[in-house]
Amino acid sequence: MNIAIVLNTSWNVYNFRMGLIKALQEQNYKVTVIAPKDEYTSRLIDAGCDYEEVKLDSRGANVIKDIGLIFELVKIYRKVKPDVVLHYTIKPNIYGTMAAKWLNIPAVNNVCGLGTVFLKKNFVSKVASWMYKISFKFPRKVFFQNNYDKRLFIKNGLVKEGISDILPGSGIDLEKFKASGNKKSGPFTFLLISRLIHDKGILEYINAIKILKSEGLDARFQLLGPKDPEHKRGIKNEIVEEWISSNTVEYLGTTDDVREFINNADCVVLPSYREGTPKSLLEAASSCKPIVTTNVPGCKDVVTHNYNGLLCKVKDSNDLALKMREMFSKDQSELSSFGKNGRTKVEQEYSEKIVIDKYLKTIKSLVS
């Protein structure tokens, strides 16, 4: 049996889906990854995956241009002959589903998050909703990463409730992410892990840092994640360079393993405007780190206010600074309690095993 996984980057597959891929391989499924080629493609091949390149621009929304994806994916699916196709992210979900329907291949979709098009009600969001409504008539199963997104799709008639289900994001490897056991020394350290785009609340984080520094708060403020200036909502390189040169924030660049940076932080911050289930918060909670994040879908699923972190208002630098200052002021026992509570929460609700078991059960029902 051949299972195809279609995503917008090979990086995304390698960093978020390898647990599922290994589980499929252990069940003697052949796994074919269909994604744009990048520096992680060779790692997928080394992990035993077959690979097919697809040209897919994840940065913008051009419906006319993207329609060509349907024909490209039809060609690839004919060549690969998958028994089931697993789609992730907006464009594979929409155009990949249409290609799979064309060839009568069962499709399983995963709405990882609504993306930037749903943050504003405009022409683009209306077109995206229409495309979802058309394409989501055809998948055999649609997984959502939080109840808010699921209810929104059902309420707006974008998907039938009978094929909808909830997954705890991509899950978390509880053995890989756990408390380091090392007592941290030095200044209190805040860490934000994200691609540098506006919708992750990067500007709010920078403004909150400026507020806290003006008040004399003795802390370190770090930012870890790739620059993406070509993205429609990306932050320009010159702006990031100004933050660095002015010592506003410590920019840590990118990494293949975030554990060292999480373990060296006292608090992980994510002021995102909306999420599916944010991976960085799962990694932080699993690593017993307190969290400050926004009171929005996805983020508030992972963080319970005053239990394993603090929730702030969205797009509000002042309230973010207030919550960061509150976290800074807590004593070590309170911070440790938040960390332990976060670990308990992800153990009970977000284990990667939950995700893998649901996928295996769904695939077996389709191929049988």
Question: What DSSP state is assigned to residue 172?
Answer: B
CA distance 271 to 273: 7
214 is a domain residue: yes
How many separate domains does the chain show? 2
Decide if pLDDT at 364 tops 70. Answer: yes
Same-domain check for residues 43 and 71: yes
Does the predicted model carry a pTM greater than 0.75? yes
Same-domain check for residues 318 and 357: no
Identify the bridge partners of residue 31 per DSSP, sorted by sequence position: 3
pLDDT score, position 127: 77
Can you tell me which residue has the tokens 């697993």?
86
181 is a domain residue: no
pLDDT band at residue 160 under the 50/70/90 scheme: very high
Query: Tens digit of pLDDT for each residue in 73-107?
Result: 999 999 999 999 999 998 999 999 999 999 999 99
Query: What is the H or E stretch that residue 5 is in?
Result: strand 2-6
Higher pLDDT, 168 or 6: 6
Decide if pLDDT at 58 tops 70. Answer: no
Same-domain check for residues 335 and 195: yes
pLDDT band at residue 124 under the 50/70/90 scheme: low
Nearest to 49 by CA among 81, 79, 76, 10: 10
pLDDT band at residue 118 under the 50/70/90 scheme: low
Question: What DSSP state is assigned to residue 118?
Answer: G
pLDDT band at residue 123 under the 50/70/90 scheme: low
Same-domain check for residues 163 and 250: no
Average pLDDT over residues 263-287: 95
Mean pLDDT, rounded, of the chain: 92
Asked if residue 363 lies in contact with residue 26, where contact means CB atoms within 8 angstroms, the answer is no
Decide if pLDDT at 47 tops 90. Answer: yes
CA distance 191 to 148: 27
Average pLDDT over residues 242-268: 95
Same-domain check for residues 358 and 298: no
Determine what percent of the chain is predicted with pLDDT higher than 70. Answer: 94
Query: Tens digit of pLDDT for each residue in 189-214?
Result: 999 999 999 999 999 999 999 999 99
Average pLDDT over residues 109-117: 76
180 is a domain residue: no
What strands, in cross-sheet order, belong to the sheet with 219-224? 250-251, 219-224, 188-193, 267-270, 291-294, 309-312
178 is a domain residue: no
Query: What one-character-per-residue DSSP string does 210-234 give?
Result: HHHHHTT--EEEEEES-B-TTSTTB
Rg (CA), the chain: 21
Same-domain check for residues 242 and 320: yes
Q: What six digits make up the tokens of 269?
A: 């911050």
Lowest mean pLDDT among 51-65, 230-244, 330-344: 51-65
Same-domain check for residues 157 and 27: yes
Q: What six digits make up the tokens of 114?
A: 């609504």
Give Cβ neighbours of residue 163 (< 8 Å, ≥ 6 apart).
139, 140, 141, 142
Give Cβ neighbours of residue 351 (< 8 Å, ≥ 6 apart).
168, 171, 172, 174
Query: Tens digit of pLDDT for each residue in 308-346?
Result: 999 999 999 999 999 999 999 999 999 999 999 999 999
Domain around 167: 2-171+351-367
Identify the bridge partners of residue 223 per DSSP, sorted by sequence position: 192, 251
201 is a domain residue: yes
- CATH number for 233: 3.40.50.2000
Decide if pLDDT at 125 tops 80. Answer: no
Same-domain check for residues 304 and 251: yes
Identify the bridge partners of residue 144 per DSSP, sorted by sequence position: 111, 166
Same-domain check for residues 203 and 118: no
pLDDT band at residue 232 under the 50/70/90 scheme: confident
Same-domain check for residues 310 and 280: yes
For residue 299, the number of C-alpha atoms closer than 13 Å in the C-beta half-sphere is 23
C-alpha pair distances (Å), 306 with each of 89, 291, 326: 32, 10, 11
Same-domain check for residues 289 and 342: yes
Same-domain check for residues 115 and 14: yes
333 is a domain residue: yes
